[in-house]
Structure 1
Amino acid sequence: MPPSLASLDSIMNDLSCRGWSVAAHFLPQDIVGHLAGETLQAMQDNKLQPGNGGQGAERSADTGIREDFILWLEEPALTAAQRCYLERLEQLRLAANSALHLDLSEFEGHLAVYPPGAFYHKHIDHFHIHGQRVLTCIFYLNADWDEADGGQLRLYLDDERYFDILPQAGTLVTFLSDRFWHEVLPMKRDRMSITGWFKSHGPAAA
């Protein structure tokens, strides 16, 4: 029997209490498999570009601190599986606006592949351009990942404490973009995710 999908109420409770959440089984396993296959195929077809190029006015912000390859999710190139993910995120957006009053509006996101040995140094996702990045959403696509593979997301809770998260397939990590510094540790095999942000044109979230 397939596992139940992650509860949006549980994610909202985590965000309300501590500002971050880790939720397994955010999408059905077959959709996760399609997303992983499509991402790997896009990489093999050379459709992904180095992530340190940034986007728009943020183009130079990440230069020298990251080694991933990305492909922005944009119409009309979205696949059925990608639309399924975005529809589930829309449910999350509505829940967050209702429960947490975050005033989330549009989502921007991209596929991300880190080859073996790659990393993303410690950084924060909050930019004061083109609207505020309020809620970071990272969805992992890596089957059978374990500690020895590396590639953990290290989420800094404060100046002294951090929490390491394995990039297991089907897991969604969400956190308030302006509160949590984070990094991606080096890995021993290809690491795939869909990374993105809900934005707001109003004041930044507290």
Structure 2
Amino acid sequence: MLQAVALQDPVQDDQANFNAVVNALAGQGWCVIPDFMPPEQWQPLAAEAKQLYAAGEFRLARVGHGDAAKVRPDVRTDRVRWIDPLEATPLQQAYLERMEALRLFINGELSTGLFDFEGHFALYPKGCFYRRHLDRFADAKHRAVSCIQYLNEDWKPEDGGNLRIYLPDGKGKETYTDIQPIGGSAVIFLSDQFHHMVMPSKRERLSLTGWFCKRR
């Protein structure tokens, strides 16, 4: 098993982080960025998400797309709360604006034609998981780049809940690397290239998960 390797030392400069994302997408297709979001940004988002969850605003996540989507507890057991740009709180709006800046930067450097962004909070209660999957649907291929922003305080290896991302080994087979959902870190990858899964979590696990999309 490979170990997760960050592209760079933790920095809080958006330019350095954005450059790292572009270099990764143009190269290996994925990256882990430590401290992609500083504590003064992600910790309030985590607190807000927990308040929304306590208020009953999260729903069981569904599998599939559009009218065909349905709850599949054999596949995934997390809860989600979509972010509506028209009803976003100030904290959510700041997050959306940052992702918009990243979208524009990726388009400017790679001419990828990313058009929009969609995202939600994802909360995994203790014991929850998401089986191996690909983020791009067979009947809806608009998702192009996946972005996972972790919102977990003091995450430890024994807490489980790793993101397992499957990678080609260059010999016609595949291997994988496990990534801890450490608060502030982000995982960004090409949506149609990498199967991945969320291992069972031994404590509540929280993230902001989103996708840069092309025109449908």
- Alignment equivalent of 1:153, drawn from 140, 155, 163: 163
- Distance 1:110-1:47 versus aligned 2 partners, 3 A rule: same
Structure 2 match to 1:82: 92
Q: State whether residues 134 and 197 of structure 1, in contact with CA within 8 Å, keep that contact through their aligned partners in structure 2.
A: yes
Aligned residues: 201
Unmatched 5+ stretches in structure 2 = 1-9
2:185 corresponds to 1:171: yes
Deviations 1:18-77 (A, max 9, x none): 000111222231111110001111111111000026662451396631010001100433
Q: Which residue of 2 aligns with 1:117?
A: 127
C-alpha contact 1:5 1:28 (8 A) present in aligned 2: no
Q: 1:58 to 1:141 in 2, by over 3 A?
A: farther
Matches of residues 1-206 of structure 1 in structure 2 within 5 Å?
4-6=12-14, 7-52=17-62, 56-57=66-67, 59-60=69-70, 64-129=74-139, 132-158=142-168, 159-201=173-215
TM-score by length of 2: 0.86
Contact 2:126 2:203 in 1 (8 A): yes
For residues 127 and 71 of structure 2, the distance between their equivalents in structure 1, rounded to whole angstroms, comes to 22
Query: What is the CA RMSD across the aligned residues, in angstroms?
Result: 2.0
CA contact (8 A) 1:52 1:64 kept: no
Distance in 2 between the 1:163 and 1:101 partners? 29
Greater Cα offset, 77-86 or 173-182: 77-86
What is the TM-score with the length of structure 1 in the denominator? 0.90
Q: C-alpha separation between the residues in 2 aligned to 1:10 and 1:61?
A: 36
| C-alpha contact (below 8 Å) 1:53/1:63 kept by paired residues | no
After the TM superposition, list the runs of 4 or more consecutive aligned residues in structure 1 that deviate by more than 3 angstroms. 60-64, 128-131
Inter-CA distance 53–181: structure 2 relative to 1 (3 Å threshold): closer
Identical pairs, percent? 40
Give the stretch that moved more between structures: 90-99 or 48-57: 48-57
- Structure 1 residue ranges without an equivalent (≥5): none
Call closer, same or farther: CA 1:107–1:15 in 2, change over 3 Å. Answer: same
